[in-house]
A and B are shown apart, each in its own frame.
Chain A
C-alpha cells in the first residue's frame, strides 16, 4: 500500500503547473485533494512518474457570484460547496450533491475539479453539472476553452480534457424558479452511488411542468441527461403516476454498468425508482 516512486512538484502558479504538465505529458498526474488518486496509487493501479500537486494554488479555490451564473474554482472542496451560502441559495443542486459525497474526511479534502476530472462513473457531482448545463473551463498551453458538461465525459475514467490541459473552473448557471433535489442509492451511508439522480424542475402555478432537467450518474459509463424522460414530462402535470411512467425509459439506449454492487437489471430498475423519487423530492 505504498505508491511506486514518483517525482513530486508543487507549482506556485497555474502557469508553472501547465508547463510542468506539458513537459511530462505522458507520465504526469495532477494531484488536487487526493481522495481518488492516492488510493489508486497505493494499490499501484495508478503509477504516475510525475505528480503535480496543485493543492497550493489558492487562486483556484473560490465561489464567485455573477449576474446569471456562479463560478466555482476547481479546488473548491465539497465541504465548502455544501456550506456556501451562495451555492445553497443560487445553485442548491450543487450543495445537495456535495453533501452526500463520501464521508466528512473525503468532503473536507476532495475537490469538485479533482472529482470531475477523475471521471469515475460513480461520482455524485456529474449528475448535478449535466442537469445544470454547467460549463467547464480547460486551460492549456494554447489558452483556455469551455466545455459543456454534456460533452465533458468520453468514457469511464476518461474526460475530454487534453493531456496537457487543466480543469480550472466550473461555471454553473443560476436557475431561478426551479426546485432541485439530488438522491442516491448506496449500500452504506458513505458509500459510492449505485444510482444517483439530480433534478431541477420548474412548474407552473397549476402544477404543469414547464421545464425539467434530469442528470443521471453511476448508471452508465458516464453521467448523462435523461432527455427522453424530460421530454415526456414537459407540459405534463407532475403526479406520481405520470412521473413513474415517464421514468420507465430512463435507461433506454444506455449500456448500464455491471459491477459487484448491482446487476444491470437491478441498476436499471433503481434508476427508474430514483428518477421518480428525486423528482417528487424536488417538488415536495
Chain B
C-alpha cells in the first residue's frame, strides 16, 4: 500500500472546514430541546474559605426557578468521583464531589447551580443566593504553601500543602555526576497558561425518569470521562454522551468539565426538564483549568567534550486547589524525558503543592513543553559553560538514526527519527552562519537580533499505564496500552459511513479518516462521511477513544485501517460470488469492483449494497450478511514496558515524531518588547495523510507556544484573586503578533504504525517556548542576560536587561 497511494498524502477538500469557517458548525449551544431550562453556577468569590452555609430559600420559592443545587444537595444526591490515576499517590483518600461542599479552594470554584426558564432570570436569581463564607488566608505561592510559618492548610486531611512527593531514577545518576568533568546547573520556571478554546465548556443534560436514561450533549474531548463521572455520581447505568462539533479543546475539555456536567445533570434530574449550560469566558478563565506553574532545579553532568552523561531535576508543581490532577504534569515528563538525547542516567524528584488557584488540567502537551524547556535551556547552558556552539552540543548528544528503534532509559521506544538531519536542515534553511554575521552587524547599529535553535520529540499515542510508574502501590491499573474502535458501513446506495471512537475538536478527523478509508476501499473520499455528532450509543468504546494524548494518528487511524481492510475483504468475497470470480482476481477502483475478462463483469458498490442488504440468494456461503465491520485497534508493538515493573520503566507513549525549531527575534531593548521576525520548523510527523491538515496543526501549536513564551498567562494577586479574566488582560496574541511559521517536512515513517504515521497535534507547542527563550537570551547576549523564567512579557524582558546592566 506504500508506493501506489492515491489519496493518502494528498490535500483534499476539507469535509468540516467549510461549515466551520462559514459559521454553520453545529455546536452544543446550537441545540435546543423542548422545555429546556438554562443553568448558571454559584461560584466562590474567595480564594480560600470555609462554607458556613448556603441560603437558597429565596430562590427556591420563586416560580421561575425550576431547580437549585447547593453543597447539601451534592452531598445528599451524588457520590464523589473515584480518585483518578493522578490522585492515586495521595496519603489519604479525599472525596471529591462535583462542587465544593465544605470549603472553597479557588476563586470561581462551583458550589452549585440554579436552573431557570432563561439565562437572564437565572443570573438575576444568582444574586439572591446567600452563601456565608468564613474566609481563610489564601495560599498563592508554593514555597509559602510548604514552609510559610502562618500557612493555612488547604486540605486539613493531608496535614500539609505538599500533597505528593516522589522520585524516579533511571540509570545511575549519582555515578554520572561523580564521574562528570563539570556540572551545569540552572533554575527555571514556567508559568500558568491556558489553551483558551474559542468555544467554552457547554452541556445540555436531560433525564428520562421512566427509563432512567441520562443523556448529555456536551463538548468533552473524552466521552469516557463524562460517562464514568455520571456513573460515579448517580449510580446510573444507562448514560448516553453525544458530542457535536467542538470549538477547540487542546486539553481544556478533558478534566474539570465532568464537574459541570454532573451538576447540570442533577439540575435536569431535579427539575425533570432538559437543562443547558454554556460557560462564560470569564468563568472559563477562572475555573475551567490552567496549565501548571512549574519550577525546576536542573543539573547536568557533562564531559568536557560536551557529552551529557546525566540529568537530574527537582520539580515543584503548583497544582492549584484540587488533588485530582496532582501528578499530571510530573508523569507527563516521562513521555519525552530524554528528548532527542542519548543520555542514560536521569533522575526526577517531584513535589506537588496545592494552592488557592485554579486546578491544573491537561493542556496541549501537559508536562512535555516543560520537559523540553528543561532540556533545551540546559543544553544551551552546557554550551555556554564549555564555550561550545549550542548546536554542536546537540549534535554530540543526539540519538542517531541508525540506533532506531531506540529504547530510552525510562523505557520509551523511539520508532524512527533522524534528529541530526532535522537540525542540520533547519540550520541550512535559516542560513545560520549568515544570520550570525547579520546579527553582529546589526548589534553594531543598536539592533538586537537573537537566534534560538531547539529540538523536541513529539510523543504520540498514550499508554494508559504510564502513571503507575510513580504509584507502584496502585492496586487497580488505570488501564493499560490503548484500545480504540471504528465502525465502517457500506450503505445500500454505495456510500460509506464511518463511526469513530473519539470526537473531533478541530483536527479534521472527518477528512483524514475518509482519506484512509477511501484509499483502502477503492472509492472516492467524496462518498465517505464520518458521523458527527459522536454518540456513545453507537460509537465504539476504548481507553484510547479520546481526543487527547496525541492519540488520533495511532488509535483512530489504526481502527479505521483495520475496519476498512476487513470491509474490503468482505466486499471482495461478495463480489467474487456474484461475478463468479476469485476474490484475489478482483480489482476495486472508484467504487466499482471489476473481474478480469469481459467489461461486463463488474459490480458497483451500490449494486453490492443491494446484494448485501436485500438479496440473500446472492450471498456467498459461510459469510454473514451486511457490509458493516467494527474493528478495535490495539498497538501491536506495545510490549515491552506496557506496564511498569519494579524498574519503573514504561512506554509513556508509542510513537515519536520530532521537530527542529528556529526562532529569529528582535528585542527592543528600550521597552523589552520582542518581535518574532522568523519562525521555522523542520518536522518529522512520519507519513503524512493530509499535508494541509498537518500544517494546520503545526501552525496552531506553534502560535500557541510562541504566545505562551511571549506573555500570555494567568496572574493572581496575593489574595488569590485572578487578575486576568478577559482575553485582553490574559494577553492572548492576535494574528498581528503571530509570526508566519515556515514548515518543511522531513518525515521518518514510523516502523511501528501501518502507514508510518506519527502524531501532529501537540508537536510545535512542545519546543516553541524553549525556542523563544533561547532566541531572546541570544539577542541579549551583549547584556549578559540569562533567560530562566517564562513568560517573556515586555516588562519581564526589560527587567532582565535592567538587572544585567552593570
Would you call A189 and B734 a contact (CB within 8 A)?
Answer: yes
What chain B residues lie within 8 Å of A187 (beta carbons)? Answer: 711, 728, 731, 793-794
Contact status of A270 and B123, CB under 8 A, knowing A192-B728, A260-B724: no
Min CB distance A265 to B, Å, is 9
- A185 contacts the other chain (CB 8 A): yes
Chain A stretch 194-242: residues in CB contact (< 8 A) with chain B: none
A266/B737 in contact, CB under 8 A:
no
Quick one: closest A residue to B722, CB to CB? A260
Is there a chain A Cβ closer than 8 Å to B188's Cβ? no
Q: A1-B280, A188-B737 are in contact. Are A266 and B795 (CB under 8 A)?
A: yes
A273 at the interface (CB under 8 A from B): yes
By the criterion CB–CB under 8 Å, are B119 and A185 in contact?
no
What is the chain B residue whose CB lies nearest that of A188? Answer: B734
A-contact bits for B712-729, CB 8 A (1 contact / 0 none): 000100000001100011
Residues in A1-45 with C-beta less than 8 Å from chain B: 1-2, 4-5, 43-44
Greatest chain A CB density within 10 A among B282, B728, B731, B799 is at B728
Q: How far in angstroms is the closest Cβ of chain B from A128?
A: 22
Contact of A260 among B723, B734, B798 (CB under 8 A): B723
Compute how far the CA of A272 lies from the CA of B711 in the bound complex, rounded to whole angstroms. Answer: 23
Quick check: A188 and B795 within 8 Å, CB to CB?
no
Closest B residue, CB atoms, query A263: B795
Q: Does B670 contact A (CB under 8 A)?
A: yes
B637-680 residues with Cβ-Cβ distance < 8 A to A are 670-671, 673
Number of B residues whose C-beta is below 8 Å from A?
28
B124 and A260: CB pair below 8 A?
no
How close is A170's CB to chain B, nearest CB, in angstroms? 26
The reply on B736 being an interface residue by CB < 8 A is yes
Contacts of B407 in A (CB 8 A): none
Residues of A within 8 A of B281 (CB): 1
Name A227-265 residues within 8 Å CB distance of B: 259-263
Q: Does B120 contact A (CB under 8 A)?
A: yes
Of chain B, the residue at the smallest CB distance from A102 is B728
User: Are B736 and A266 in touch, CB under 8 angstroms?
Assistant: no
**Distance between Cα atoms of A249 and B731 in the complex (Å):** 30
Give Cα A204–Cα B796 distance, bound, in whole angstroms. Answer: 41
Contacts of B794 in A (CB 8 A): 185, 187
- Smallest Cβ-Cβ distance to A185: which chain B residue: B671
In the bound complex, do residue A270 and residue B671 qualify as a contact, i.e. CB atoms below 8 Å apart? yes
Query: B723-753: contact bitstring with A at CB < 8 Å (1 yes, 0 no)?
Result: 1100011011110110000000000000000
A154 within 8 A of B: no
Flag if A2 contacts B120 (CB, 8 Å). yes
Minimal beta-carbon separation of B160 from chain A (angstroms):
31
Contact of A44 among B123, B734, B793 (CB under 8 A): B123
Q: Please give the number of chain A residues whose Cβ is less than 8 angstroms from any Cβ of chain B in the complex.
A: 22
**Distance A198 CA – B669 CA, assembled complex (angstroms):** 23
- Could you tell me the distance in whole angstroms from the C-beta of A122 to the nearest C-beta in chain B? 10
**CB of B737, distance to nearest CB on chain A (Å):** 6
Once bound together, how far apart are the Cα atoms of A266 and B794, in whole Å? 9
Q: Which of A185, A190, A261, A273 is the one whose CB lies under 8 Å from B734?
A: A190
Whether A269 lies near B798 (C-beta < 8 A) is yes
Q: Which residues of B contact A188 (CB under 8 A)?
A: 728, 731-734, 736-737
Q: Mark A43-62, 1 if CB is under 8 A from B, else 0.
A: 11000000000000000000
Which secondary structure dominates chain A's binding surface? loop
> Could you give, for residues 744-767 of chain B, a 1 whenever the CB lies within 8 Å of some chain A CB and a 0 otherwise?
000000000000000000000000
Return chain A residues, CB-CB under 8 Å to B711.
187
Residues of A within 8 A of B793 (CB): 187
CB distance from B729 to the nearest CB of A (A): 5
For the A-B complex, the count of residue pairs with Cβ-Cβ distances under 8 Å equals: 51
Distance of B24 from chain A, by nearest CB (Å): 21
Say whether, besides A187-B731, A189-B734, A43 and B795 are in contact (CB < 8 Å).
no
The complex places the Cα of A191 from the Cα of B723 at a distance, in Å, of: 16
Determine the chain A residues whose CB is within 8 A of the CB of B282 once the complex forms: 1, 43
| Of B671, B724, B731, B737, the contact of A273 (CB 8 Å cutoff) | B671
- Least Cβ–Cβ distance between A49 and chain B, in angstroms: 13
| A269, closest chain B residue (CB) | B798
If A2-B120, A4-B124, A260-B729 touch, whether A189 touches B737 (CB-CB below 8 Å) is: yes
How near does chain A come to B672, taking the closest CB pair, in angstroms? Answer: 8
Which of B281, B673, B734 counts the most A-chain CB atoms under 10 A from its CB?
B734
- Select from chain A the residue with minimum beta-carbon distance to B733: A188
Chain B residues within an 8 Å CB radius of A2: 119-120, 123
Contact with A along B119-144 (1 / 0, CB 8 A): 11001100100000000000000000
Chain A residue contacts of B736, Cβ below 8 A: 188-190
Find chain B residues with CB under 8 A from A191 CB: 728
Distance of A187 from chain B, by nearest CB (Å) = 5
What is the chain B residue whose CB lies nearest that of A186? B728
Cβ-closest chain A residue relative to B724:
A260
Complex interface: chain A residues within 8 A of B737 (CB)? 188-189
Which residues of A are found within 8 Å of B670, using beta-carbon distances?
A: 273
User: Judging by beta carbons under 8 Å apart, are B795 and A262 in contact?
Assistant: yes
Which residue of chain A lies nearest to B796 when distances are taken between CB atoms in the complex? A266
Tell me the minimal C-beta distance from A100 to chain B in angstroms.
12
| Complex interface: chain B residues within 8 A of A43 (CB) | 282
Give Cα A5 to B282, complex, Å.
Answer: 20
Nearest-neighbor residue (CB-CB) of B707 within chain A:
A188
Closest-by-CB residue of A relative to B732 is: A188
- Chain A proximity mask over B777-802: 1 for CB below 8 Å, otherwise 0: 00000000000000001110011000
Please indicate which of the listed interface residues A5, A43, A187 has the most CB atoms of chain B within 10 Å of its own CB: A187
In the complex the two chains form, is B795's CB within 8 Å of A5's CB? no
Q: Separation in Å of the A145 CB from the closest CB of chain B?
A: 35
Q: Which residue of B lies closest to A5 (CB)?
A: B124
Q: Which residues of B contact A1 (CB under 8 A)?
A: 280-282
Interfacial chain A residues near B731, Cβ < 8 Å: 187-188
Nearest to A277 among chain B residues (CB) is: B670
- A5 partner residues in chain B, CB cutoff 8 A: 120, 124
Which of A44, A190, A259, A266 is within 8 Å of B798, CB to CB?
Answer: A266
Cα-based distance from A185 to B793 in the complex (angstroms): 13
- Neighbouring B residues of A269 by C-beta, 8 Å: 798
Q: Which residues of A contact B729 (CB under 8 A)?
A: 260-261
Closest to B725 in A: A43
CB distance from A3 to the nearest CB of B (A): 8
- B-side contacts of A260, CB under 8 Å: 715, 723-724, 729
How far does the Cβ of A208 sit from chain B's closest Cβ, in whole Å?
Answer: 26
CA distance A138 to B724 in the complex (A): 36
Q: For residue B126, which residue of chain A has the nearest CB?
A: A44
Which residues of the other chain, A, contact B724 by a CB distance below 8 angstroms? 260
Chain A contacts for B123, CB-based, 8 A: 2, 4, 44
Report the separation of the CA atoms of residues A233 and B11 in the bound assembly, to the nearest whole angstrom. Answer: 62
With both chains docked as a complex, state the minimum distance between the C-beta of A213 and any C-beta of chain B, in angstroms: 24
> What CA separation (Å) do A283 and B388 show in the bound complex?
47
Neighbouring B residues of A189 by C-beta, 8 Å? 734, 736-737
The interface residues of chain A lying within 8 Å CB-to-CB of B732 are: 188
Q: How far is the CB of A15 from chain B (nearest CB, A)?
A: 32
Residues of chain A within 8 A of B728, CB atoms compared: 187-188, 191-192
How far apart sit A191 and B732, CA to CA, in the bound complex (Å)?
10
With CB as the reference atom, state the residue of chain A lying closest to B729: A260
- How far is A43 from B725 in the complex, measured between Cα atoms in Å? 11
Name the CB-closest residue of A to B40: A2
> Which B residues, 106 to 120, have Cβ-Cβ distances below 8 Å to chain A?
119-120
How long is the Cα–Cα vector from A43 to B670 in the complex, in angstroms?
37
6 further interface pairs, Cβ-Cβ under 8 Å (given A4-B123, A44-B127, A185-B794): A44-B123, A189-B737, A192-B728, A261-B729, A262-B795, A266-B795
Q: List 22 A-B contacts (CB under 8 A).
A: A1-B281, A1-B282, A2-B120, A2-B123, A43-B282, A185-B794, A187-B711, A187-B793, A188-B728, A188-B731, A188-B732, A188-B734, A188-B737, A189-B734, A259-B723, A260-B723, A260-B729, A261-B729, A266-B795, A270-B671, A273-B670, A273-B671
- By Cβ-Cβ distance, the 5 closest A-B pairs, closest first, are A189-B736, A260-B723, A1-B280, A266-B795, A2-B120
Q: Give A residues with C-beta under 8 Å from B.
A: 1-2, 4-5, 43-44, 185, 187-192, 259-263, 266, 269-270, 273
